[in-house]
Amino acid sequence: MINALKFAVLATGIVTASQTLAADLTVVSFGGANKDAQVKAFYKPWQKEEGSKIISGEYNGEMAKVKAMVDTGSVSWNAVEVESAELARGCDEGMFETLDPAQIGIDPKDFVPGAIQPCGIGFLVYSTVLAYNTHKLKEAPTGWQDFWDVEKFPGKRGLRKLAKSTLEFALIADGVKPSEVYTTLATKAGQDRAFAKLDQIKPYIQWWEAGAQPPQFLAAGDVVMSSVYNGRLSAEQKKKYGLDLVWNGGIYEFDSWAIPRGASQQDKTREFIAFTLQPEQQKNFAEHIDYGAANLGAMDLLDKARINELPTAPQNLAQQVPVDALFWADHGEQLEQRFNAWSSR
């Protein structure tokens, strides 16, 4: 009887351990300060509440990695952080599972417009903006036209080695109204105009590919100005190295959670995603990094001074252009190919 009881306890322990292991989730983000904030606001509270582990990974947004896993049926990621255009394109190509807000108990009315998409839900709002080193410039730039003015503002410039956002900035610098950027870029003449504008500063460009690089380039004095994800420029960096940013002409968009098609633990993953979208977790995230909360309820929980530092503060949002994810889903492949050929010449 005792042996039978021991066996039963052992068997129960094995089952429980298996269930715990099965509940572990692999969540892949863009790393850096963004990941650090996710660990504090999402991963650790989730692990404490659920008793299961978040295995965190990083990537630079390469959809080829997701596609390879999905195509071979060897999906090792449960949830992945995806930019808006890649989410739309990946959804069209069948790379992601559908993510119905009703499945995870959230109301679209509680979120910034555009956060809810068929295959993903935005959990942060970020901006790509102009940042500069105050110690390297005699006066502060006010927008992308100054970024292109190498005589008045001499020195290297940093730009992301990607067509998306870089082409928009080129058109804004060339005098295109923010409201007309995407209608202009949808034409052959508009695309030629953007590349011609980039030709003007090509010798001065230092390319970046990872979000952590622009603050490093600026702090080291390698560039005097750079496009940058606003949340990667910490208050400590601004103070220590004399860095600042310009909201005017910035481009804002969402980073969303998506589930690669065929991933395991999808019910548990949807629970995790729902957890990160709760107002309290969204508030905590926005307190650890300068990204706006996608859940509007979180903004009500934040200190007013803190809100002013976020891209979703009304006065900051009014100066920016919302990214057109559908435009990039439709035109992205062609424009990225042209951009890669241009940048390599």
pLDDT band at 8 (very low <50, low <70, confident <90, very high): very low
pLDDT band at 207 (very low <50, low <70, confident <90, very high): very high
Three-state SS for 185? helix
Spell out the SS3 assignment of 92-132.
HCCCECCCCHHHHCCCHHHECCCCEECCEEEEEEEEEEEEE
Q: Please determine, for residue 192, whether its predicted confidence score (pLDDT) is greater than 90.
A: yes
On the question of a common fold for 24-123+255-309 and 126-253+319-344, the answer reads yes
pLDDT band at 15 (very low <50, low <70, confident <90, very high): very low
To the question of pTM greater than 0.85 for the whole model, the response is: no
Q: For all residues of the chain together, what is the average pLDDT?
A: 92
pLDDT of the residue at 19 = 43
pLDDT of the residue at 113 = 86
CA-to-CA distance for 163 and 332, rounded, in angstroms?
Answer: 8
Q: pLDDT per residue over 40-70, tens digit each?
A: 999 999 999 999 999 999 998 989 999 999 9
pLDDT of the residue at 1 = 47
Closest CA relative to residue 127, chosen from 326, 333, 274, 309: 309
| Superfamily of 126-253+319-344 according to CATH | Periplasmic binding protein-like II (3.40.190.10)
Q: pLDDT per residue over 218-255, tens digit each?
A: 999 999 999 999 988 877 889 999 999 999 999 999 99
Q: pLDDT per residue over 289-332, tens digit each?
A: 999 999 999 989 999 999 999 998 889 989 999 999 889 989 99
Structural domain boundaries in the chain: 24-123+255-309, 126-253+319-344
pLDDT of the residue at 329 = 87
For residues 11 and 207, the model is more confident at 207
Q: Please determine, for residue 202, whether its predicted confidence score (pLDDT) is greater than 50.
A: yes
| Residues 69 and 97: beta-carbon distance below 8 Å | no
The CATH topology of domain 24-123+255-309 is D-Maltodextrin-Binding Protein; domain 2 (3.40.190)
In the chain, count of helices (H) and strands (E)? 17, 11
